[in-house]
Structure 1
Amino acid sequence: MALLLLKTMTEAQFHHAVQHRIAQTAVGAAALRNQGARGIVKSCRDYFEQIDLGKFFEAMPNAADYQRFLDAQTNQLLAEFPVTVRTSWGVARKALNLFFRDVVYNKYFAEKYQLPDSLPENHVALANLEVPLDRDVALGIKRCYKRQLPPWYSIKSLTPDFSKELQQKANELAHQKGIARVHLDLVFWRSKKGNS
C-alpha cells in the first residue's frame, strides 16, 4: 500500500540521484589517504553534488573553455577543504578528475549529453579531460619519457605547472595509444612496470 503513495521519479530527479551516487563513490578514502586532514573526502563529495554537469559537458569540447572550467572548479573545491589543506591544489585537481571521469563513464550521463558510442569518436569527445594524477599514473608517464620530467613526490605537492607538464606528456602518450588521456588511469592504475 505504501508503494502506491510514491510519486513517479522525474528524469531530473533521476539524474540528480545518479550524480549523488557518483559524488559519493568517485573519491574514496584510499584515493585521498595521507592528505593531511580529516573531512577532506566529505568536502569533495559535498562539492561534487552541486556541480552543474550541464556546464561541464558544455565546456568539455573546447580545450580553452574546459581548462577555464576545470581551473575554476579546482579553486572552488580548494576553498571548501579544511583549512589545513587549502593549499593542496593537487589533491583538489585529482579529486575533480576522478569525479569527471566517473561522470563520463556513466551510461545515463553519456546518453543524456550524447557522448558517441564508438570508441574512436568517444576518445575524440573526451580528449580534453585530464587523467587523474597520482603516484601510479605519474610514474607510468615518467617511465615512458625517461629523463624528460622532474621527479614525482606526492599528489599533495603537485603544482599547476608540473601537472600541466604531466598532462601534456599524458596527451602525447594517449595519442600514441589511440585513446583519450583520461583513460590512461586504466593503463597505469596498480599496473606492473612492464604494462606501459
Structure 2
Amino acid sequence: MAREGWAEDVRSHLAVASVGGSTLRMQSTEGGVKRAREFLISSIPLTQFSSFSDLNYADFLNGQAEALALKLPRPEDGRPNWGAARKAINIFMRLCAMNKDLHQGFNLVSIEPYLEVPLDSHVVKKIDREIGSAYAKNFRIKNLTSQLSSEIQSAATKIAMDKGLHRYELDVLYWNSASLI
C-alpha cells in the first residue's frame, strides 16, 4: 500500500471523528456538524505548528475559534457559538497530538504544552472535584467565554502538572469517565 498522502488522510479522518452529533448536540443550527468538520479539514493544517511558541498557538487558536464560531450559530438566537467552536478545535488537536503518525510527522510534540483540554460538563466537573472550584455549577458550553475558558484551562494546567501530564491529556481521564467504570 502506498503511504503517499497518508498523513493528510489521517488528518481528514480525525477531523470527521472529532465532531459527532453528541459533540455539538443543541449547540448549533442544522448542519453544524458538517460545517465544523469542513472547517477543521480546510482551515487547520498541521504543517505550521512545529515553529509555534505559546503565544503563536494562542493567537492561532483564538482566531480559529472566532472563525469557526461564525459557522456554528446558536439555535436559540443565531449568535456565534465560541464555546462549541473551541471545543471542536481542541478535540481535533487532541486526536492529532495522540496519533502516532501525525505526532511524529508534524512534530506536534512542540505544541503539546500549549494544547487545551476540550471543555464540556464532564471535564469541568472533574476539574472542580480536583481543585475544589465551582465552575460546573453554571457551566454551559454555549455560554463559554474566552475569559472563563482561560480560568478553567489555568486550573487544568495545575492539575496536569501534578499528574505529570500535558493539559490536553486530562481529557482521557475526565471525559465521560463515569461510563467507563
TM-score between both structures, scaled by the size of structure 1 = 0.81
Q: Deviations over 1:162-188 (max 9, x none)?
A: 000000000001001110010111111
8 Å CA contact retained: 2:14, 2:92? yes
Percent of residue pairs identical = 34
Q: Among 183, 193, 196, which residue is 2:169 paired with?
A: 183
SS, match of residue 56 in structure 2: helix
**How far 1:138 moved relative to its partner?**
0.6
User: Aligned partners of 2:160 and 2:65: how far apart in 1?
Assistant: 23
Aligned to 1:75: 66
Matched, 1:127 2:118: no
Question: Which AA in structure 1 matches 2:85?
Answer: A
SS, match of residue 19 in structure 2: coil
Q: Among 72, 95, 113, which residue is 2:88 paired with?
A: 95
Matches within 5 A, 1:54-69: 54-59=47-52, 62-69=53-60
Question: Which AA in structure 1 matches 2:82?
Answer: W
Matched, 1:138 2:124: yes
Residues 83, 186 of structure 1: alpha-carbon distance in 2 compared, 3 angstrom cutoff: closer
Gaps of 5+ in 1: 1-7, 116-121
8 Å CA contact retained: 1:56, 1:69? no
Matched, 1:167 2:153: yes
User: Aligned partners of 1:26 and 1:150: how far apart in 2?
Assistant: 23
Residues 53, 107 of structure 1: alpha-carbon distance in 2 compared, 3 angstrom cutoff: same
How many pairs align? 176
Matches within 5 A, 1:9-158: 9=2, 11=4, 13-50=5-42, 51-59=44-52, 62-82=53-73, 84=75, 85-115=78-108, 126-147=112-133, 149=135, 151-158=137-144
The structure that has the greater radius of gyration is 1
**How far 1:156 moved relative to its partner?**
0.8
Comparing 143-152 with 17-26, greater Cα deviation is found at: 143-152
Q: Which runs of 4+ in 1 moved over 6 A?
A: none
What is the aligned-residue RMSD (CA, Å)?
Answer: 2.3
Gaps of 5+ in 2: none
8 Å CA contact retained: 2:156, 2:167? yes
